[in-house]
Structures are given as C-alpha cells and as structure tokens.
Structure 1
Amino acid sequence: MASSTHRLRRASAAAAILLSAAVACAPSDGSAAVAVPSPDAEVAGYCTALHKELPAKVMDDVARRGASPDSPYTAAWGDPAIVLRCGIERPAEVMDPKNDGVEVNGVGWVVDDRGDDGLRFLSRYREAYVELLVPASYHADASILVDFAKPVEKSIPKTVDD
C-alpha cells in the first residue's frame, strides 16, 4: 500500500510540474499561443498578403484576437482560439485520396475531423499551405471556410497539384 501511495505522490508531483510549465508558457497578455511556421521567402510573401486580408470576425461574431508570438504567418479568433497558420509544411493529409475534401468559393480544403479536439482544415492546390484549427466548442462545420475563402483566393495563387 505504501508503494502505491508513493507512486501516486510522484505522479501528482509530475502533473503539478507539467501544469505549472504550461501556465508559464501561456502568454500573459490574453493572446493565443500559436506555433509559428517558418516558410521560405516566396511562401512568406503569400502568407503576409493573406494576413492583411483576414477578417476581423468569423462565424458572424467571433472576433479576431492576438496570437503569440505576433507573426504574419498566424492569426486567432475567439476563446478558445480558432487558429490559422500559413506557410506550414505540406501536410501528408492533402496527398491522401481517402481524406474528405471540400471546395468553398474556389478554394480546396481537406477536412480532418479530430473528434473532441474539433476540426482541422488544410488548404489544397495553393502555393502556400494554410491550416485552420477550430475547437469543438464552436460546433462548426465546413461553412466556416466561407470566411477564409476570399482572403486565400486573393492572396495565395493556385497550383496544379499538391
């Protein structure tokens, strides 16, 4: 019995350390923590152009907020954050013909339903890859892509293939 109590204390201590590390890494200014891609110069130009075209609100009333660190390759809306990252490496999912895809206003997307984690959308047939992460709490579907189709269409040229 003492052995299991000791293991429980060690597990609790480890969990407390992980939790404090996560809190320490969270931005203190209320912005959403986002991993920033490192695109090459050409893709970076497309992503910077996209950043300027992104909407102030999505889904009618979810307002744009800061992303941390601040970058022209990332953007966020709402709390919990809907996160957009531009200039990611080509995702394997866009090459898999078994993955569901949709086209919204001229922009192709792969749809990755992540269950309790929400939806992940990946742009297809563009010179830069865009990832959009939508938490499950928004109960969103592919209609959210309407808010992003025009900016992507305007900023990132089409390519022949993935």
Structure 2
Amino acid sequence: MSLTHFRRRPGPARVRGVAASAAFPTLATLSLLLSACSSTPEIASADLGTEDQQACEQLVDALPATLNDLEQVDVEPADALGAAWGDPAIVLTCGVALPDDYDPFSTCDDVNGVGWFAPPDSLEEDAQDEQVTVTAVSYRPLIQLVVPADYRPDGVSAALTDLTEAVKSTLRLEQPCT
C-alpha cells in the first residue's frame, strides 16, 4: 500500500491547503470583518451662531465618559458637536432643530429638570423594538439623543438621567417642561 491510500481528504495536498485557507479567514480578514460590523457614528454639523457653537462645544466637553453604563466611542468627524456611547451607539447631537412633530402644545417629560420631547408614537408599546429620538426642548441650543432599540425601554431614561448635569451646566434654560 502506498501512503496516498491513507489520505483522509481527496485531492493533492497543495489544493487541500488552498481550500483550507479559503475556508478559514486570516486574523486580519476577521478583524476587518468585525470592524465592518460596527461603524463609527457620524454626527451631522449644524450651522450655528457663535453663542450656540460655544455652548455646544462646552456641552461636548462636559459629557460623561459613560452613558447608561456604555463607554464613549469615537465619532466622525472628530470635532463633531456631539458624542456617542456603546455599540450600537447612543448618539447625541447638539444644535439641532425642533422635531417636525413638535408643537407648542406637545408634552415633554421632565428628567431632573431637563424637558425632553419624544414623538408620541415612539412611546407606544408596539414601538419598543424601534430606535427612539428624543430632543431636549427646554434648553438652548437644542440637543437630540438617538437611542437604538437594543437599549429600550429602560436605557432611554437612564441615558437622559446621565446627561442631566452636563446639559444644566452648559446650556441655557429657556422654557421649563410643563
């Protein structure tokens, strides 16, 4: 009997090695695949006046390193007027406009003295598996927080609570939440 008779896999050894390497990605490829799964959050820049620009910069500097027990992550651009925490990321943007569905008669929820507006349909029981966008409507400039569905329902209130000190110490109160 020859040694080729005892091979477990068919085909020449050279082909088996190529097939095996194609089946198992290298560490570099695996790293690239994993990094593609989590992307750096992008924060849109707003055209703000000098006073609002400075207030947003102060807010960003005052934001907590953790939000809802999630570590702060890098954002694009690096000098964005906002921040992000976790993966999927909870994203805060400073200097946003009032939401389209907000009007002077909309209700807002007071979280430690900061009034937040959430679209009424996002609070419905069947919307708990969707991301929610809340806007601090009592302070200027306005800030918006996008919370992925992964952190609902308790993560929204925990994140808003964690932001209270930074908001109150850097932004100006214009209209308390009623």
TM-score class normalised by the smaller sequence: 0.7 to 0.9
How far apart are residue 58 of structure 1 and its match? 0.9
**What is the distance in 2 between the residues matched to 1:107 and 1:101?**
9
User: Which residue number in structure 2 is paired with residue 23 of structure 1?
Assistant: none
How far apart are residue 30 of structure 1 and its match? 4.9
User: Which residue number in structure 2 is paired with residue 152 of structure 1?
Assistant: 167
Residue type matched to 1:104 in 2?
Answer: V
Select the residue among 87, 91, 98 that pairs with 2:95: 87
TM-score, normalised with respect to structure 2 = 0.66
- Structure 1 or 2, whichever has the larger Rg, is 2
**What is the distance in 2 between the residues matched to 1:51 and 1:141?**
19
For the 8 Å contact 2:114–2:168, the answer to whether it is kept is: yes
How far apart are residue 53 of structure 1 and its match? 0.6
Superposed counterparts of 1:53-132, under 5 Å = 53-59=62-68, 61-98=69-106, 100-112=107-119, 113=122, 115=127, 116-132=129-145
Residue type matched to 1:121 in 2?
Answer: V
How far apart are residue 149 of structure 1 and its match? 1.1
Residue type matched to 2:78 in 1?
Answer: D
How far apart are residue 32 of structure 1 and its match? 1.5
Give the strand-richer structure, 1 or 2. Answer: 1
For the 8 Å contact 2:41–2:89, the answer to whether it is kept is: yes
User: Which residue number in structure 2 is paired with residue 16 of structure 1?
Assistant: none
Moved more, 110-119 or 85-94: 110-119
**What is the distance in 2 between the residues matched to 1:158 and 1:105?**
13
Share of identical aligned residues, percent? 28
User: Which residue number in structure 2 is paired with residue 4 of structure 1?
Assistant: none
Select the residue among 21, 35, 40 that pairs with 2:49: 40
**What is the distance in 2 between the residues matched to 1:141 and 1:75?**
16
Runs of at least 5 residues in structure 1 that lack an aligned partner in the other structure: 1-26
How far apart are residue 93 of structure 1 and its match? 3.6
Runs of at least 5 residues in structure 2 that lack an aligned partner in the other structure: 1-35
Give the alignment's Cα RMSD to 1 decimal: 2.5
For the 8 Å contact 2:45–2:80, the answer to whether it is kept is: no
* Cα distance, 1:96–1:143 mapped onto 2, change above 3 Å: farther
TM-score, normalised with respect to structure 1 = 0.72
